[in-house]
Structure 1
Amino acid sequence: MERVNKIIIMLENGQHNEALTEYNVVLKSGLPDEKFLLSEEMYQYGFLDEAKALVENLLETFPEEGELLVLLGEILVEAGNDEEAILVLEKISEHDANFGQSLLLLADLYQVQGLYEVCERKLLKAKEILPEEVIIDFALGELYSEQGEIAKALEAYERVLKEENEIAGVNINQRIADLISASGMFEDALVYYEKAINEKLDINTLFGYAFTALQAGYYQTAIGRFRELKELDPEYHSLYLHLALAYEREGDLENSFLTIQEGIKQDEFNKELFLFGGKIAVKLGKVEEGEKYLREAIALDPGFIEAALTLNELFFQQERYEDVIELITQLDIKEDEEPQLLWDSAVSYQKLENFSYALDKYESAYTFFKKNQTFLHDYGYFLIEEGKTDRAAEIFKQMLIEDPTNEEYMDLLGRLTGLKD
C-alpha cells in the first residue's frame, strides 16, 4: 500500500498533478486492494471521476461485489447522478452483506424523488435485516415527519432515543420537541426542549423552546429563553418580534416597544416589526410614533394589507377620512382583492359628503359583506339618508332575517314601507 500512502501524502500537500500521475499507475497496474483503498481516498478528497474509474475497473473483475457497488452508488450520488446510482444499487443481491447499506442509500434517493412508499418499503426491509441499527429508525422518523405522519414519526424517534440522543448531528430530543410543537401539543413539547437544551445549548433549539413556551402561554418562560438567546446571538432576527409579543402578553408594553426598537436596528427591512411596533406605540399613547411605524411598514410593502387596515383604523378614530382615501389610493392592493378597503372607502366618502362615490363603494362592498350585519347597518342608513327607501327597505328586511326580534329594524322597516304606501 506504499503507493497509495504516497498519493495520499501528495493530495494532503496539494501536489495534485503528481498525485494524479501516480494514480494512473495504480489504475493501470495496481493490485485490487490498492485500487479499492485508493478509490475510497479519492472519493473522500472529492476526485469523483477518478474514484469512479477505479471502482468500475474493479467491477470488471468482481461484477457482483456488493461493497464495490455500494461505493459506486455513493460516488454517483455525490456526483448528482441519482438515476444511475439507483440502477447500480438495485443490482446488489439480498444475500450480500452490503444489502442493508444499499437499502438505506436507495431509501434516501427515493425520498428525495418524493417516492415515499418505495422509500418506506426499503427502510422497513433494511430494519428486518439490521434490527439493531438506530440510523434506520432515525431515517424512518425523518420520512414520516416529512409526510406529516406525526404518530409514526414520534414512535420511530422514541426508538432512537432508547439508544442515542444524537444521530448525524441531529439532537433527537429537539426533533421530537419540534414535531410535537408543530402539531400543537405545546406543553408536551416543552419537556423535550428542556432535555435537548440540557444536552446541548443550541440557538435554534433555544428559539424553538422559547417560541413553544409563548404558544403555550408561559410568557415569563418565553421571555427568559428569548432573552437568553438574544445574549447568545443578538443577530438572531426572529427572536425580537416574538419577545415583544411575549412582553405584550404580560402587559409590559414598554419593554415590548423597546424590544421592537432593538429588532429594527438589527433588521430594518422587517415589515412585521414595524407593524407590531405601530400597534404597541398606539397602545402606549404614542400615536404619532405609531403612525410613523405603520407608514414605514407600508413603505416596505405597499401590499401589506394588515398594516393598511391598522392605519385606517387609526385614521377613523381621529376622523381623518381624507387620509383614509389617500392611503387606499396609494396601496398596491386592488379594492376587490381586499373588500374591507371598499367598506372603508364608502364610510370615508360618506363622512366627506361625497355621496355618489360613497354609494358606488357601498354597492361594490355589498357583494362581499351581504351577510355582515354591521356593514348592512351602515349601508342601510346611508341609503335612507340618500332617499333610496326601496333599496333601504330591502337591506333592513335582510337584516331582520338574521335578527328577527330587533325592534329598531322592525320599526324602521315599517316606516320605510309606510312611506312607499
Structure 2
Amino acid sequence: MHKIENAIQLVEDGNAEEGLKALKQLREYANDDEKYTIAEHYFKWGFVEDAKEIVEELISRYPDEGELFVFLAEVLIDLDMEEKAIDILEQIAEDDPVYLESLVLQADLFQMQGLFEVSEQKLLLAKEKSNDETIIDFALAELYSSHGEYNKSIPYYEKVLHNGDEIAGVNVNARIAESYSTTGKFEEALPYYEEAIKKQEDSNTLFGFGVTAYQAKYYKKAIEVLERLKELDPDYSSLYLYLAKAYEEEASLRESFNVLLEGLEVESLNKELTFYAGKISMMLGDKENTEKYLRAAVGIDPGYLEATLQLSKFLLREERFEDVVECLESVMSYGEYDEQFEWDLGFAKNKLEQYSDALNHYRRAYTSFKETPEFLEEFGYFLMEDGKRQEAVEIFKELLKLDPMKYEIEAFISELE
C-alpha cells in the first residue's frame, strides 16, 4: 500500500506521468483493497474507463457488495450511461447498507431523465425505509422545489433545518426563504432570509432578500439589503431597478434616479432601467431627461410598448402633436401595435387638423374603448365638430349609459336633437 500511496502522491504533486506509470505497474500485483483505492483515485482524476475496469473486476469477485455497485453506477453516470447505471443500482438488495443511498442515486437519475414521478417514488420509498435520514428529506425538498412544488418542498426543508442550517453546501434557510417568496408568502420568507445571510452574505441570497422585502412593502429593509448588495457586488445589475423602486416608494426620487444612473453604468442597454429613468425624471419635473430616457428605451426595443405609451403621453401633455405622430408611426412601422396608439393618434391628428386620418384612428380606437367614458366624450365632440351630428348623438348616448351623471351631455343631446 505504501508504494501505491507514493504513486498517488506523485500524481497529486504534479508528476502525473511518473505517478500514473507507477500505478499501472502496481495494479498488476495489488490486492483488492488496494485496487479499490486505485479505482477511487482514477475516478477522482477523470480516468473513468480505468476506474470502470477495476470496479467491474471487483464486482465479479464480490457480487454481494452493494458499495461496489454504487461506485460503478457513479462511474457509468460520468460516462453518460444512465440506463446502465439504473440497472446496476436496481440489483442492490434491500438489506444492503447502501440500499438507501442507491435509491437516492436512482431518484437523481430518473429526475435527470425528466421522470419526476418515478424519482419521487424512489425517494418516498427511501423515506419509508428510513424515516429519520436528513439527506432523504433534503432530496425530496430539492426534487419538489426543482419542479415548482414549493408548498411540498417547505416541510421537508424545515425537517432538514432541525438538524442543521447547511447540508451538501446548501444554505437551508435560503432555500426555505426562496420557496416562501416564490409562492407569494413574502412575510413568511423574511425571517428565513435574515438567518440565511447570517450564515453567508452571497449575492443571490441578498438579492432575493431585498426583492422579497420590497414585495412585502418593507421598503426601508429592501433599501438596506440592496444597498449592501450594491456595495458587495456592484456588477449585480438586477438589483438597481428594485432599489430604485424602493427609493421611489419612500418618496426619495432623487436617490431613485441616481441609482438608475448607476445601474445604467453597469448595463447601458437595459431597457427597464432606461425606461424607469425616464419615468422618475417625469416625476421630478425634468422634461429633458424624461424625453431623453423614454426615447432611449424605445430605441433599445421598439417593441417595448410601455415605454412608447409613456413617451406618447409625455409628448401629448407637451402639445407636441407632430412628435406624437412620428413616435407612434415609427414604432408601428416595426410591426408593433397597441390599441392606445389609435386613441393618441386620433387626438394628435385632430389637433394637427388632419381630420380624415383622425376620424379613422378614432373609429379603430372605438372598438377597444367603447366602454371608456373619457374616450366616448372626446370622440363625440370630435364627431360633432366634424359635422357628424347624428353619430355624435349616438356616442353621447352610450356615454350616458356608462355615466348618467354627465348632465351637460344630456342637455347637449337634447340641443342636438
Query: Alpha-carbon deviation of 1:26?
Result: 5.5
Query: Alpha-carbon deviation of 1:30?
Result: 4.0
Aligned to 2:311: 311
Aligned to 1:258: 258
Aligned to 1:291: 291
Query: Alpha-carbon deviation of 1:158?
Result: 0.8
- Aligned-partner Cα distance in 1 for 2:332–2:101: 55
Deviations 1:35-83 (A, max 9, x none): 2221111111122222122222223333453212211211222333333
Decide which moves more: 310-319 or 27-36: 27-36
What is the correspondence of 1:9-408 to structure 2 with a 5 Å cutoff? 9-25=9-25, 30-331=30-331, 337-404=337-404, 406-408=406-408
Decide which moves more: 239-248 or 5-14: 5-14
Query: Alpha-carbon deviation of 1:28?
Result: 5.5
CA separation of 1:325 and 1:51: change in aligned 2, threshold 3 A:
same
Decide which moves more: 333-342 or 197-206: 333-342
- Aligned-partner Cα distance in 2 for 1:355–1:347: 10
Contact 2:180 2:186 in 1 (8 A): yes
Query: Alpha-carbon deviation of 1:414?
Result: 4.2
Contact 1:297 1:307 in 2 (8 A): yes
SS at match of 2:275: helix
CA RMSD, Structure 1 to Structure 2 (Å): 2.3
**Which amino acid letter does the alignment assign opposite residue 138 of structure 1?**
F
Query: Alpha-carbon deviation of 1:18?
Result: 4.0
- Aligned-partner Cα distance in 2 for 1:264–1:405: 48
- Aligned-partner Cα distance in 2 for 1:72–1:161: 32
Contact 1:27 1:54 in 2 (8 A): no
Structure 1 unpaired stretches of 5+:
none
Deviations 1:272-305 (A, max 9, x none): 1111111111211211022111122222222211
Contact 1:303 1:333 in 2 (8 A): no
Decide which moves more: 6-15 or 289-298: 6-15
CA separation of 1:391 and 1:31: change in aligned 2, threshold 3 A:
farther
Contact 1:36 1:54 in 2 (8 A): yes
**Which amino acid letter does the alignment assign opposite residue 230 of structure 2?**
K
Contact 1:27 1:35 in 2 (8 A): yes
CA separation of 1:88 and 1:383: change in aligned 2, threshold 3 A:
farther
Contact 2:181 2:212 in 1 (8 A): yes
Decide which moves more: 189-198 or 396-405: 396-405
Deviations 1:3-49 (A, max 9, x none): 53244223213444444444544665643222222111111112222
**Which amino acid letter does the alignment assign opposite residue 338 of structure 1?**
D
- Aligned-partner Cα distance in 1 for 2:269–2:227: 22
Contact 1:55 1:68 in 2 (8 A): yes
**Would you say how many aligned residue pairs link Structure 1 and Structure 2?**
417
Contact 2:302 2:336 in 1 (8 A): no
**Which amino acid letter does the alignment assign opposite residue 80 of structure 2?**
G
Query: Alpha-carbon deviation of 1:395?
Result: 2.9
SS at match of 1:225: helix
SS at match of 2:303: coil
**Which amino acid letter does the alignment assign opposite residue 345 of structure 2?**
S
SS at match of 1:80: coil
- Aligned-partner Cα distance in 2 for 1:325–1:412: 31
- Aligned-partner Cα distance in 1 for 2:392–2:12: 87
- State, as a whole percentage, how many aligned pairs show the same letter: 46
Contact 1:7 1:22 in 2 (8 A): yes
Query: Alpha-carbon deviation of 1:148?
Result: 3.2
- Aligned-partner Cα distance in 1 for 2:376–2:336: 18
Decide which moves more: 140-149 or 286-295: 140-149
Decide which moves more: 378-387 or 260-269: 378-387
- Aligned-partner Cα distance in 2 for 1:364–1:334: 19
SS at match of 1:331: helix
Decide which moves more: 58-67 or 265-274: 58-67
CA separation of 1:332 and 1:379: change in aligned 2, threshold 3 A:
closer
**Which amino acid letter does the alignment assign opposite residue 39 of structure 2?**
S
Contact 1:104 1:123 in 2 (8 A): yes
